[in-house]
Chains A and B, each alone.
Chain A
Amino acid sequence: NAGVTQTPKFRILKIGQSMTLQCAQDMNHNYMYWYRQDPGMGLKLIYYSVGAGITDKGEVPNGYNVSRSTTEDFPLRLELAAPSQTSVYFCASSYGGGPYEQYFGPGTRLTVT
């Protein structure tokens, strides 16, 4: 099993550009998450999904959109990129919420200049 995969690994965007960060998991997990991690900070939840067709906002959703059309995929869309979105983005999945272990992808390092 590949677990949780993310593409791309690195990306540089210009202010105002848009892009989609891809995330896929092959563990048949219902729950998927997007986090961002700024330097010296903990992970902050952007959006999460409890199943195909169901998404909800996390702590820092502004400037992002998500969709969940399949169990496997959970892409994160950045519209009109801003320097404040420079961060490392992590996707994760879990069988359920709460005490269930979250499995993380390798991360995408995004720089907006």
Chain B
Amino acid sequence: AQRVTQPEKLLSVFKGAPVELKCNYSYSGSPELFWYVQYSRQRLQLLLRHISRESIKGFTADLNKGETSFHLKKPFAQEEDSAMYYCALSGGYGGSQGNLIFGKGTKLSVKP
């Protein structure tokens, strides 16, 4: 079954500390992986996707097919990074396979 697991409900770090939000997935094919973020009082929005291989707001994520993981990392956390982060998976372009499957989310709190 297709599944996205985010093992941490809450992650609390101090400003300037490294942060890693974990995401593991279960999918039989070659998935597309995403990180979406929801800042306080804002809409859910795309942070980054593995297909783009980009760094957004200092965040990076590497798809590890062997470990079926797509962890989100940032070397130095900032207070404005405090938000809810969702890992999501898509199975492809066509039909229901293209739909997103979301993890339960991790709340990141960056303390001053």
Contact = CB atoms under 8 A, between A and B. Distances in A.
B86 to A, nearest CB: 6
B99 A106 contact: no
A77 to B, nearest CB: 20
A99 B85 CA distance: 18
Contacts of A55: none
28 contacts: A4-B43, A33-B99, A40-B9, A40-B104, A42-B4, A42-B102, A42-B103, A42-B104, A42-B105, A45-B99, A48-B96, A48-B99, A56-B95, A58-B99, A90-B44, A97-B93, A97-B99, A98-B32, A98-B90, A98-B91, A98-B94, A99-B51, A99-B90, A99-B93, A101-B49, A104-B45, A106-B43, A107-B43
B46 interface: yes
Contacts of A105: 43
Contacts of A4: 43
Contacts of B43: 4, 104-107
Residue of A44, A98, A104 ringed by the most chain B CB atoms within 10 A: A98
B7 interface: no
Interface of A: 4, 33, 35, 40-45, 48, 56, 58, 90, 92, 96-99, 101-107
B44 A99 contact: no
Contacts of A107: 43
Nearest to A101: B46
Contact of B98 (A42, A92, A97): A97
A107 B92 CA distance: 26
Given A97-B93, A99-B93, 20 more contacts: A35-B102, A40-B104, A42-B4, A43-B86, A48-B96, A58-B96, A58-B99, A90-B44, A96-B93, A97-B94, A98-B90, A98-B92, A98-B98, A99-B49, A99-B51, A101-B46, A101-B49, A104-B43, A104-B45, A105-B43
